[in-house]
Amino acid sequence: MAMNLVEKIFSRHLLVGELKEGSPISLSVDQVYTQDATGTMTWLEFEAIGIDKVQVPLAVSYVDHNMLQTNFMNADDHLFLQTSAQRFGAYFSRPGNGICHQVHLERFASPGKIALGTDSHTPTQGGVGMIAIGVGGLEAATVMAGAGFEINMPKVVKVNFKGSLRKPYLTAMDVILTLLKMLTVKGGVGKIIEYGGDGVKSLNVTDRATITNMGAELGATTSIFPSDEVTRQFLKAQGRESDWIELSADEGASYSEIIHLDLDNLESMLACPHSPDNVKTIKELAGTKVHQVCIGSCTNSSYQAMKTVALILKGKTVSPNVNLMINPGSRQVYEMLAREGLISEMISAGARILESSCGPCIGMGASPGSGQVSVRSFNRNFKGRSGTKDADVYLTNPVACVIMAIKGEMIDPRDSDIEIPLIENPDTFLINDSMLIPPTKNVKVEIIRGPNIKEVPIKEPIKDELLSEVILKTGDNITTDDIMPAGSQILPLRSNVPAISEYVFKNIDETFAKRAKEAKGGVIVVGGENYGQGSSREHAALAPMYLGLQAVIAKSFARIHRANLINFGILPLIFKNPHDYEKINQGDTIKISNLINSIKTNQLFIAEILSKGIKIELTGNLNEREKDLILKGGLLPYTRLKR
């Protein structure tokens, strides 16, 4: 039978189930990686499961998010992560080595394999032809403890490229922004996007990785490219040619949908505030004044992108009205640029060079000024994410970014008088793995914890009747940044759930935490479409759970957040009739009886809105495992009981 790429890789990893759209499957996993902001909880959870050593062939613990050390907390977490990695058998990527997705692509990503990462941009690795999926920390911990990865078989959508991207003013960012304009932030939910067609040849691996990285913004489970000669060249240049295998879809393979995109007809694009799918051509915004430009992140930090930026800056000066920040995503890229004198060109032009970390992308410093316009080569521009609530953040390709930094305003690169070089892949990358500490063998290392590191809270198993107040009703596309904000003040609290829970919904509802704690009988939140889009942070489930969240009722959910809710024993319920959303108001008390039976038998849940005397129907759509997880109070008690 002709197979697509996803079916080929899944069938080689299938433990349980059938590769039929929508049906539950369990897959074996080759690689798991964590980053520090989600990783402290993940490693605490791994420890709580009680397994001595990581059971997957490769585990890597990165430090890249919580890099500002304004007090003891982040440095303590780094040491906790380093000692946990040594204790449990994972590589440790030291702070300064780079952003997890970029470093993983350089040093570990392998065609044909399956990786999970505790970060929503894990699909970056799809650029080399592997399946890489973002998951919550607890999910990753159980897989590292030996469980299979359970998921409902997604639809597979093919995006067929024709033409070529080899034009200096365009980059892979324009490809994915064009797709975001076409498909929106909900367009990929429940789907894996498989790229193919002749145009794929014109994209090198790092271009492909930019596209798969931002597949997360489409809501896709993951995205994948074939593994071809271009992939082989990339791996060879990374000194890893032996990791290469050829992988492509069979002729006649079937897809749930095929989308065509002609790379010859692309324009320079930019996503406007405050959503990555609010995409326009740069020409439409030409002349808009720019105050800050940030280049880097896990989306656009390749050596080629950074070298292009440096060569454009050479001999020029950044506009006096613009702050230009550059954070090369990995030490490999940073060191190569430095050795070639390219960092000097950046400094000389007036750029501010930041360390290899997430930095401005997650509001870890470099927040724009009040009401300022910030143009970034990053992947998310949700309101307030930059650390400045009233800033307007735009997303575009690194070439357009640097040209705007010089000109001080938005301009299509073709309309500027600036010459843009076209940089080829290097034949060899600089390989220096000295900041990747390999797992120790057979030594019991003591795990060192700072005072800010607290235990993982566990939910009481669900009761048969819920009598809870709707503490908050939200609109569509609520992000996990809305639910559990990040930024330099809140991120250091990731290993302390009681403390971080004070900030739940803080940016959109100042008193949520207070009202939730006061509510007797627990908390219900009502949401619209695509509730919980964005990051994989399980804190967006765990911290509300700590405040008493029992159920979220929404029109639809983003995949990772729904899984995180279930993993922490919280019911994700869907309006059977989406118009019933209008019938519930904030402050209503909702009664749902016969819960346990409804969960077990997949019956409709009947919710009574007590203040109005009306009843509405809700569905759970829970598979067997999900039912079990909810009934046992979440994945941690479930995993412990199974052992």
Pick one of 128, 486, 566, 616: the residue that binds ligand MIC (CB under 6 A).
486
378 with 400: CB under 8 angstroms? no
Asked if the peptide bond before residue 561 counts as cis, ω within 30 degrees of 0, the response is: no
The distance of closest approach from Cβ of residue 83 to ligand MIC in the complex, given in angstroms and rounded to an integer, is: 20
- Using CB under 6 A as the binding rule, whether residue 327 contacts ligand MIC is answered as no
Which residues 6+ apart lie within 8 Å of 401 measured at CB?
Answer: 293, 294, 295, 309, 375, 376, 377
Q: How far is the CB of 567 from ligand MIC (least distance, A)?
A: 15
535 touches ligand MIC by CB under 6 A: yes
Q: Which residue has the tokens 């950074």?
A: 306
Binding mask 101-140 for ligand MIC (x = CB under 6 A): ------------------xxx------------x------
Strand 114-117 to strand 352-353: parallel, antiparallel, or no bridges (unpaired)?
unpaired
Identity of the amino acid at 191: K
Cβ 170 to ligand MIC shortest distance, Å: 25
Distances, alpha carbon 262 to alpha carbons 183, 209, 228, in Å: 16, 19, 20
Q: Which of residues 460-479 bind ligand SF4 (CB under 6 A)?
A: none
- Nearer Cβ to ligand MIC, position 226 or 387? 387
Extract the tokens encoding 254: 């079937």
User: Of 180-188, 247-255, 358-366, 369-377, which segment contacts ligand SF4 by CB under 6 A?
Assistant: 358-366
Nearer to ligand MIC, 150 or 481 (CB): 481
Strands of 58-62's sheet, edge to edge?
Answer: 131-134, 114-117, 31-34, 58-62, 91-93, 436-437
Alpha-carbon separation of residue 111 from 36, 114, 129, 317 (angstroms): 26, 9, 5, 42
Q: Which does 116 bind (CB under 5 to 8 A by kind): ligand MIC, ligand SF4, none?
A: none
Using CB under 6 A, which of the segments 40-48, 357-365, 367-375, 588-596 binds ligand SF4?
Answer: 357-365
Among the listed residues 13, 87, 107, 121, the single contact to ligand SF4 using CB under 6 A:
121
DSSP conformational letter for 623 = -
Yes or no: say if 180 and 280 are a contact pair by the CB < 8 Å rule. Answer: no
Q: Of 379, 397, 567, 598, which lies in the binding site for ligand SF4, with binding defined by CB under 6 A?
A: 379
> Which 38-77 positions form the footprint of ligand SF4 (CB under 6 A)?
65
358 touching ligand SF4, by CB under 6 A: yes
Of the pair 293, 420, the CB lying nearest ligand SF4 is at 293
Near ligand MIC in 515-534, by CB under 6 A = 534
Q: What angle do CA 295, 297, 303 make, to 5 degrees?
A: 75
Report the C-alpha gap between 233 and 203 in whole angstroms. Answer: 12
From the list ligand SF4, ligand MIC, none, partner contacted by residue 38 (C-beta under 5 to 8 A by kind) = ligand MIC
Q: Which is nearer to ligand SF4, 110 or 297 (CB)?
A: 297
Number of residues that bind ligand SF4 (CB under 6 A): 10
**Contact pattern from residue 269 through residue 308 relative to ligand SF4, giving x for each residue in contact according to CB under 6 A and a dash for the rest:** ----------------------------xx----------
- Starting at the edge strand found earlier in the chain, the sheet holding 191-196 runs 222-224, 191-196, 155-162, 257-262
Calculate the CA dihedral of residues 14, 18, 21, 23 and round it to 10 degrees: -100
Here the contacts of 132-136 (C-beta below 8 Å, separation 24 or greater) are 132/212, 132/222, 133/221, 133/222, 134/216, 134/222, 134/536, 134/560, 135/536, 135/560, 135/563, 136/38, 136/536, 136/537, 136/538, 136/541, 136/560, 136/563, 136/564, 136/567
In the bound state with ligand SF4, the residue whose beta carbon lies nearer, of 171 and 468, is 171
Q: How many residues bind ligand MIC (CB under 6 A)?
A: 14
The site for ligand MIC (CB under 6 A) is made up of 37-38, 65, 119-121, 134, 362, 380, 486, 534-537
The site for ligand SF4 (CB under 6 A) is made up of 65, 99, 119, 121, 297-298, 358, 361-362, 379
